[in-house]
Amino acid sequence: MRIVITQNMTLDGRVEMLDDWFDPGGQDDDLAAELRDQSAREDVLLLGRQTFCDLRGYWPHLRHDPTGVAQHLNRVDKRVVSATLTEPGWENSSVVEGDALAGVRSLREQPGQDVVVTGSIQLCHALIPAGLVDEYRVFVYPAWQGRGRGLFPQGYAVPPLRLLRATSFTNGVTFAAYEPAASAEGDRERAPDSAVPE
C-alpha cells in the first residue's frame, strides 16, 4: 500500500487549525466529488490520537451528511496511533500498538491502495523524515492564519517534490498532489519513537 498524507492548509502553509477557516460540512459539489474519488482508493485511515478523537466526536453523530464523508469514515478501516488510548470506541477502529513507524512500514509492504494520514501533525512529522510518505495531497484554503504548525517538521530540509495533479474548486480551494522526486537513503532513517505516540 502507499502512505498518503492529506492535509487542509492555509495560504501561509499552516495545517494546525487555530482559527475558524475550515468547515468540514461546507463543501461544494466539485470538492465533495474530489473527496469521494480519493476515499474510493483509501483502504486504511491512519490517525494520531487527537485527530482520531476529534473525528470520532463529530462525524458519527452527524444526522445529515450529503457529502458522504460520515458514511465513509464509519466503514473505513481506521488505525489510531496512541500510547494512551486503549478502547477506540468507534466501529472498524483499532489501536496501533508498539513501534508505530514499524507498523507503518509493515502496512506499506501489504497489497492494497492508499493508507491515508490526515490531521495528526505529530504523526506526520514522524513519518516524513523517516522517508515513509509516498504522496502528499494538499487542499489550500483562501485563509491566512499567521501561526500554527506547518505540513513539514520545523527545520526539515524538504526534498524535491514532483507535481502529480492540480485543480481548483468553486469555493476558492485549490488542490495539488505531489510525490517525492527522489528518496535518498539518509531520508529513510528511523525517527525517534518518542516523536510518534500521542
The CATH number covering residue 82 comes to 3.40.430.10
Give me the domain span that covers residue 164.
2-195
pLDDT tens digits, one per residue of 63-86: 887 778 888 999 999 999 998 998
Contact indicator for 148, 18 with CB cutoff of 8 Å = yes
Least confident piece of the model among 24-28, 45-49, 74-78, 136-140: 24-28
pLDDT of residue 158: 92
**Which grid coordinates belong to 92?**
472498524
Percent of the chain's residues with pLDDT above 90: 73
pLDDT in tens, 153-185: 999 999 999 999 999 999 999 999 999 997 543
Residue tagged 519513537 (cell numbers)? 193
CA distance 110 to 148: 34
Give pLDDT, residue 196. Answer: 60
pLDDT, one tens digit per residue, over 99-145 is: 999 999 999 999 999 999 999 999 999 999 999 999 999 999 999 99
pLDDT of residue 10: 97
How many domains does the chain divide into? 1
87-103 pLDDT, tens digit per residue, is: 899 999 999 988 999 99
Q: Residue 72 in 3-state DSSP?
A: helix
Q: What pLDDT shows up at residue 190? A: 40
Cell of 77: 478501516
